[in-house]
Structure 1
């Protein structure tokens, strides 16, 4: 068999394999009415509809997806919901425990804070929405917060 005949035969075989693969790939209905392909902008619009289109909460509750600087004075409390992250930057702050006596998670040290002073520059996590948070004992205090919270005076 001559070289050009081998090349032609190989091209024919590869072409048949490609057509078979293409035809087989389309049998699962991708792009059909029952399983449409959508654009990223369409998906983003649908997610915005479900989430209300913003990060702001209602009823005096703030929701943030980025770290926000909050200034608190002596006696003010920041009450977080489950998953809220807190970092104390300045001032003296104590942890507020839940009615059952459970505390805050100090992720930096790996300990539970139960009504004691919250160390500066430690990542604190609110594990449940049950009234846990922080209270400024000596202010003013600068706090970094990510998540849902409310400030009580």
Structure 2
């Protein structure tokens, strides 16, 4: 009985050894077949080249078109931005020029108004003695502030009493503090010789005293 068990154990050991040996042989054979013509080992560059050939070169062409389109868009946007900046600068220059002209016009207008006001604001206070006559130029304005005075005229026409809105003829008495307007040369205001005091006149414009 003991001999039979020993023999069976020996057979089993030999069988296991044979199986293990065949397994190593199979693995070795499989390893020796890697990279053969039936199962070659290839690189990434080879795979990319084959894909490029299969696509007919469209991969690089698409990338080139994309780059060209991007560059064109960038150039277009840059040019557009430059034009807009130039236009904005031109508008700012025009606005500055208009502002300068407006200020110049305002200053000129202000100077003209000031000069006009100074010219019309000149008032002479004249003390007209008895027997004297003030001959006014056309457009002169006179107000008799004090004393007795009459209209002097070399014709039938007289002067305008602006306060009353009436005409005054020659030798007609003048009411004090009324504004008188002389439409033409040769007419004026006189103080008769029989008066005992001067007449005080406010005169705006040109005149002569005779």
TM-score range, shorter chain: 0.5 to 0.7
Task: Give the alignment's TM-score, normalised by structure 2.
Answer: 0.44
- 1:136 equivalenced with 2:194 (yes/no): no
Distance 1:119 1:17 in 2: 70
Instruction: Normalising by structure 1, report the TM-score.
Output: 0.59
Cα–Cα, structure 1 residues 98 and 22, in superposed 2: closer, same or farther, change >3 Å? farther
Secondary structure at the aligned position of 2:163 is classed as coil
- Residue 75 of structure 1 is aligned with which of 109, 131, 134? 131
Q: Quick check: 1:88 aligned with 2:158?
A: no
Q: 1:19 aligns with which of 56, 69, 89?
A: 89
Deviation by residue 1:101-129 (Cα, 9 ceiling, x = unmatched): 11111111111110211110011111112
Which of residues 102, 122, 133 in structure 1 aligns to 2:157?
102
Displacement after TM superposition at 1:72 (Å): 1.1
> 1:119 is matched with which residue: 175, 195, 200?
175
CA distance in 2, matches of 1:125, 1:15: 63
- CA drift at 1:96: 1.3
How many residue pairs end up in the alignment?
112
Listed as ranges, the gaps of 5+ residues in structure 2 are 1-80, 112-118
2: CA distance between counterparts of 1:77 and 1:147? 16
| Alpha-carbon distance in structure 1 between the residues aligned to 2:88 and 2:181 | 54
Post-superposition offset of 1:23: 5.2
RMSD: 3.7
Which consecutive unaligned segments of at least 5 residues does structure 1 have? 1-11, 32-36, 45-54, 56-63
Bigger fraction of residues in helix = 2
Q: Whole-Å Cα distance in 2 between the matches of residues 27 and 91 of structure 1?
A: 59
Q: Which has the larger radius of gyration?
A: 2
1 or 2, which has the higher strand percentage?
1
Task: Report the alpha carbon displacement of residue 15 of structure 1 after superposing the two structures with TM.
Answer: 6.4
Question: Greater RCO between the two (CA within 8 Å, min separation 6)?
Answer: 1
| Residue aligning to 2:208 | 150
